[in-house]
Amino acid sequence: MKTTRTILFASLSLIIHTAAAQTGATGDRFSPCMAGLRSDAAAKGVPTAAFDRLTKGLSPDMSVLEFLDYQPEFRTPIWDYLAGLVDDERVADALVLRQQWAAPLAAAAERYRVDADTVIAVWGVESNFGRNFGKRPLLTSLATLSCYGRRQPFFRGEFLSTLKILDAGDIAPERLVGSWAGAFGHTQFMPSTFLRLAVDGDGDGKRDLIDSVPDALASTANFLNRAGWRAGEPWGY
- Class (C level, CATH) for 2-226: mainly alpha
Pick the catalytic residue: 66, 73, 89, 126?
A: 126
* Active-site residue, 233 included: no
What pTM did the predictor assign? 0.83
Per-residue pLDDT of the chain (237 residues; tens, 9 = 90+): 444 444 434 433 443 344 444 444 455 789 999 999 999 999 999 999 999 999 999 999 999 999 987 765 555 665 566 666 677 889 999 999 999 999 999 999 999 999 999 999 999 999 999 999 999 999 999 999 999 998 999 999 999 999 999 999 999 999 999 999 999 999 999 999 999 999 999 999 999 999 999 999 999 999 999 999 988 887 665
**The dihedral sign for the CA sequence 182, 185, 186, 192:** negative
Give the pLDDT score at 10.
41
As a residue count, the chain comes to 237
In our burial notation (b when 16+ CB lie closer than 10 A, e otherwise), range 204-237 reads eeebbbbebbbbbbbbbbbbbbeeebeeeeeeee
